[in-house]
Amino acid sequence: MPATEHQQSFLGRISIRRNQVTAMDGNHEQELEDLELFQRHTGDRFADLLSLPDDSPFSGETFLSISWLRKLVDVLLCCEAEFKALLIMGRDPSQIPKPPLDRLLIDFMERTVKVLDICNAVSGGVDSIRQCQKLAEIVVSALEQKPIGDGQVRRARKALGALMSALTADDKENNHSRYAERTWSFGRRGSNSGGNHKDRATHGSFSIFINGRG
């Protein structure tokens, strides 16, 4: 799908009706221009992520790679900050609890929670990849030594066991998340004990292995 179609689809989701804006006090035309400019900026940013030109320094990056996800998070944070400035900065505080700004702020908070969920998911995924990479490097390093002794075999076996435990924990967590309600950002302390236990188990097995290497 061309970038323009992606942009039109995305703008359709975030479009703010003109009758919502005209209900606010102040310079209506300037507010309309600011809203439309924000929507164009948002659409352009996400369209650029979906279709990079051949001469772009990032054109060779793989979709959903770590570097691509990092740019996605940057775009989300930029849009969130611009949206916050657009709705709140420079406004009369007495207008905030009144329609339509009150509804827009609720929508802003919901979108902020979703951004936090994405950031948490990316951060957790990158951390899991780094832990697994460290364990895999330990296995390879132990098996590459010549000659291979019992110590190297035990070290590789422990690292491989910790790696398999981490991968199994991730698989169980992914399967569980298909049926469990996602409550990452609000109520996280009480409802995410399973995820925290999984993280502690992964880091714990890695720490135990590292401490036992000597």
- Cα–Cα distance for residue pair 22/25, rounded to 1 Å: 8
Average pLDDT over residues 96-104: 78
pLDDT over 60 (residue 210): no
DSSP 166-177: HHHHHHHHHHHH
Determine the pLDDT at residue 134.
Answer: 93
Contact indicator for 156, 142 with CB cutoff of 8 Å: yes
**Please, is 43 exposed, middle or buried when counting C-beta atoms within 10 Å of its C-beta (0-12, 13-18, 19+)?**
buried
Taking a C-beta distance cutoff of 8 angstroms, is the pair 6, 46 a contact? yes
- The 8 Å CB, 24+ separation contacts for 184-190 are 184/116, 184/117, 184/120, 184/121, 185/113, 185/116, 185/117, 185/120, 186/113
pLDDT computed for residue 51 by the predictor: 73
Confidence of residue 181 (pLDDT cuts 50, 70, 90): very low
Q: Residue ranges per domain, the chain?
A: 3-98, 129-211
Angstrom distances, CA of residue 212 to CA of 130, 147, 159, 202, 208 = 20, 21, 10, 16, 6
Residue 189: per-residue pLDDT = 43
Q: Is pLDDT at 99 greater than 50 in this prediction?
A: yes
pLDDT at 57: 53
Q: Is 3 helix (H, G, I), strand (E, B) or coil?
A: helix
Q: What's the mean pLDDT in 166-184?
A: 62
| Range name among 29-38, 138-147, 154-163, 195-204 with the lowest pLDDT average | 195-204
Handedness of CA 7, 13, 16, 18 (dihedral sign): positive
Q: Tens digit of pLDDT for each residue in 156-173?
A: 999 999 999 988 886 776
The answer to whether 167 and 184 have CB atoms below 8 angstroms apart is no
Mean pLDDT of 76-90: 81
Number of C-alpha atoms within 13 angstroms, CB side, residue 29? 0
